Amino acid sequence: MQDAKQAIFDYCKKRGALAVGIASLEACERIAPAGHRPSDLFPRVKSVISLGVGGQTQGTWQMPAKAMAYSGSTETRAYGVAYGLAFHIEQQFGAPSVYVPPDLDPEGGPRVPLQSLKLHAELAGIGARSLAGDILLHPEYGFMYYASVFTELELEPDAPMAENPCPAPSCVSMYRQIGRTPCMKFCPAQCLSGEIDAQGKQKLMRYDMAACAELTQEYEAVPKILAEAVKDEVRSQGAEGLLDPDRKMLWYKVSAGSGAWFAQCFECMRVCPIATKAPQADPVLRSKD
């Protein structure tokens, strides 16, 4: 079992994953709501593999906010590694496996995923929930994108991280002074709030996902914009409703499948010391170790 696990880790890291872990299937099944458990997707699942792919370079965090989403496309690289891993396990170990689609549940609306990749990663010990709306952070790798594979191969689960890197000491210091951490203060949607206890640990995290989604989830804006455009069409009796610059940008993204499609706000991460100063986030530096 250990050999298989090491082989899987080696495969993932060779293809660019920064972190790999095995989540407890039992915990996943117990925590995820009905319809979103691993067994709901893959009934004979024995193991949940989670992997994380690194985020931006140091320089990326200096880019204009509107350009951030186009930089990296790291989530698709994570998906690519996981997709290959599923084939790899089947070929090497003969165990049926699935790449877990990172997509939304068509029955659940635009904010409900088929599976919580975040839950898998947290239970696999490769990320811990932050005050920034539960975005997972890793003390070595910072802010990552995650992907999962379900397999019938039995693998020994890892434990969640022993310590949560969030809040960082500098964030605790800021909180002590103004009652807010950088992510709370600089969120353009002001969707974050919370408390830090006397030991400098997370006490309370509040996240207004609806407010966050207005800024970040453009796919949700499409039907709304279309509805507005139709109203404008009627008012203007012309094509202005569909062709104003904002709307044309969306049609472009729809037709081109362009980046910045799922999320395009990184302001909480831009001010996060863990995300931006993660010592092992740089793959070039990492390769020298």
Partner 1 sequence: MTREQLGITEAMLATFGETVFQMSHNLQTREGDPVRRLDWVEIERQREAMGLADGQIAERLGLTREQVMFIRNSEESRRFRIGQTAYLLDLGGGRRYRPERVVRLEDRFSYSEDALRLRGAFRFDAELARRYVERGWWRDDTLPGWLSSHSKTRPDAPALIAGQVISWRELEERVLRFAEGLRRAGVARGEVVAVQLPNTPEFVIAFLAICRLGAVMSTLHMPYRGAEIAALLKHSRAKLGICLPPSKNLFNDIGRAFAEIDCAEPLSKDVPGPVAADPFLLLYTSGTTAAPKGVPHNYHTMLSNARLGVPEHRLTASDRIVSAAPFTHLFGLYELHCAFACGAASVLLPAFTPPDLSALIEKEKPTALWTAPAHIAAVRAQGLFDKHDWSSLRLAIMSGSACPPPLVRDFSSRVKDCAVTQLWGMTETQGALYTRPGDALEVHCSSAGRPSPGTEVRIADGELQVRGCLLFPGFYDNDEANAAAFTADGWYRTGDLAAVDAAGNYSITGRVKDIINRGGVKFNPRDVEDLLDSHPKVLQSAVVPMPDPILGEKACVFLVLRNKEEPVRLEELTEYLLQKNIAKNKLPERLVIVPDMPLTPTRKVIKGKLKLPE
Please give the Cα distance from 272 to 170 (Å, whole number).
Answer: 10
- Does residue 208 belong to the site contacting partner 1 (CB under 8 A)? yes
Q: State which residue, 85 or 119, has the beta carbon closest to partner 1.
A: 119
Q: State which residue, 63 or 242, has the beta carbon closest to partner 1.
A: 63
Which of 123, 126, 135, 168 is in the footprint of partner 1 by CB under 8 A? Answer: 123
- Does residue 220 belong to the site contacting partner 1 (CB under 8 A)? yes
Asked if residues 148 and 49 have their Cβ atoms less than 8 Å apart, the reply is yes
Which amino acid appears at position 219 of this protein? Answer: Y
**3-state DSSP assignment of residue 149:** strand
Token match 């996902």: residue?
A: 209
- Does residue 270 belong to the site contacting partner 1 (CB under 8 A)? yes
- Does residue 59 belong to the site contacting partner 1 (CB under 8 A)? no
- Does residue 206 belong to the site contacting partner 1 (CB under 8 A)? yes
Q: State which residue, 107 or 289, has the beta carbon closest to partner 1.
A: 107
Q: How many CB atoms lie within 10 A of CB 197?
A: 10
Please give the Cα distance from 105 to 36 (Å, whole number).
Answer: 9
Stretch that binds partner 1, among 9-17, 38-46, 94-102, 217-225 (CB under 8 A): 217-225
Q: Least Å distance between CB 85 and partner 1?
A: 24
- Does residue 279 belong to the site contacting partner 1 (CB under 8 A)? no
Q: State which residue, 90 or 220, has the beta carbon closest to partner 1.
A: 220
Tokens of 231: 């109203």
Q: State which residue, 228 or 233, has the beta carbon closest to partner 1.
A: 228
What's the burial of 251, exposed, middle or buried (CB within 10 Å: 0-12/13-18/19+)?
middle
Please give the Cα distance from 59 to 52 (Å, whole number).
Answer: 21
Which amino acid appears at position 101 of this protein? Answer: P
Q: State which residue, 44 or 224, has the beta carbon closest to partner 1.
A: 224
Which of 186, 219, 251, 261 is in the footprint of partner 1 by CB under 8 A? Answer: 186
Of residues 63-82, which lie at the interface with partner 1 (CB under 8 A)?
Answer: 63-68
Segment (H or E) for 254: helix 245-256
Q: State which residue, 10 or 26, has the beta carbon closest to partner 1.
A: 26
Tokens of 133: 């709306």
Q: Which of 289, 258, 284 is nearest to 16 (CA)?
A: 284
User: Which one-letter DSSP state was computed for residue 54?
Assistant: E
- Does residue 224 belong to the site contacting partner 1 (CB under 8 A)? yes
Q: State which residue, 94 or 169, has the beta carbon closest to partner 1.
A: 169
Please give the Cα distance from 75 to 143 (Å, whole number).
Answer: 11
Which of 74, 202, 251, 261 is in the footprint of partner 1 by CB under 8 A? Answer: 202
Dihedral sign computed on CA atoms, order 259, 260, 263, 268: positive
Which of 5, 88, 120, 129 is in the footprint of partner 1 by CB under 8 A? Answer: 129
Token match 């929930």: residue?
A: 129
Which residues contact partner 1 by CB under 8 A? 27, 30-31, 33-36, 62-68, 107-112, 119, 122-123, 128-129, 133-134, 160-161, 164, 185-190, 201-210, 213-215, 218, 220-221, 223-225, 228, 246, 264-265, 267, 270-271
